[in-house]
Amino acid sequence: MTDAPFDSGRWCWLNVSIMRLSTSSSLALGIATVATALAVSTVLVSRTAAQKPAVDAEALYKKHCIICHGATGASPLPNAAFADGTWVHGSTVKEVSAVIKDGVKGTVMQPFAAKLTPAEIEALAKHVRAFDKKLK
């Protein structure tokens, strides 16, 4: 009982200083964690904002095209079906974009150059190409 294995006075001091040390370091760690979390979330938020497609092709299609080309791209109008695999004016993104931009003279396919931005036209070209399962 009497022969304590260590000097209790020193033990106590040691303990207090360890506690002080750990309190201050965990506080610092806490601040660092919060700061890191903030930085990471800021980066994440700005990245998702940047990666979010600026153009909603599906909404544009519904607004401007669905009336003639149909919800599944299987239009009954001549040359207007996308799902049948026949692309009268070419099937590349460039060719399809050109049709949307300039229209097809002498048909009801109007030019959309004045109504849509180049980015919207390209997004719509990709959207209508997707109706044709054979295209990549």
Residues binding ligand HEC (CB under 6 A)? 64-65, 67-69, 77-80, 86-89, 96, 99-100, 104, 107-109, 112, 124, 128
- Is residue 24 classed exposed, middle or buried when 0-12, 13-18 and 19+ CB atoms within 10 A define those classes? exposed
CB of residue 51 to ligand HEC, shortest distance in Å: 24
Q: Which two tokens stand for residue 100?
A: 């949307």
Q: Which two tokens stand for residue 76?
A: 């009954």
Q: Which of 39, 77 has the CB closer to ligand HEC?
A: 77
What is d(CA 80, CA 86) in angstroms, rounded to the nearest whole number? Answer: 9
Q: Which of 53, 64 has the CB closer to ligand HEC?
A: 64
Q: Which of 25, 79 has the CB closer to ligand HEC?
A: 79
